Copies of this chain bind each other. A is one copy, B any other.
Amino acid sequence: MNIGEAAERSGLPAKTIRYYEDIALVVPARRMNGYRDYSDADVHRLAFIHRARDLGFGIESCRKLLDLYTDRARASADVKRVARQHLEDIELKMRTLEGMATTLRHLVDNCRGDNRPDCPIIDDLANAAAGDDRTTKRP
């Protein structure tokens, strides 16, 4: 099938599917006229990647998972390792964001938000120059 139908069936934009070919994730056959020709198996792989991306896996993890998916002799331990590592990454990101959100909520709650200039948010940012030690760290 053409890329348009593969896009519809996998739920991915055609642009993205072409990109996945560029990086050798899913490489379809070609017709005589140069058009890409996707098999059902290709679409399956695309949908697999789509789901993995929705779960936040990076492209290289998707590649790894796709390899494991294809490998009938895989060990589930290998899959689990990839997933657990990713879960840890996500949890770290969440903690980072949580720290930012806590600080921001505090600052926003204490800002009057009227037409006067004094503002605890600006003060916080400005006083960082003084070498204050605050909470949030970047990812």
Q: Which residues of A contact B (CB under 8 A)?
A: 43-44, 47-48, 50-56, 65, 68-69, 71-77, 79-81, 83-84, 86-87, 90-91, 93-94, 97-98, 100-101, 103-105, 107-108, 111-119, 121-122, 124-126, 128-129, 134, 136-138
Which listed residue, B44, B65, B111, B125, touches A69 by the CB 8 Å rule? Answer: B125
| Copies of the protein in its oligomer | 2
- With A108-B87, A114-B77 already in contact, the answer to whether A122 and B69 are too (CB < 8 A) is yes
- Closest 8 CB pairs between A and B? A51-B128, A76-B119, A47-B129, A80-B113, A75-B115, A87-B104, A77-B113, A80-B111
Cβ distance A26 to chain B, nearest Cβ, rounded Å = 13
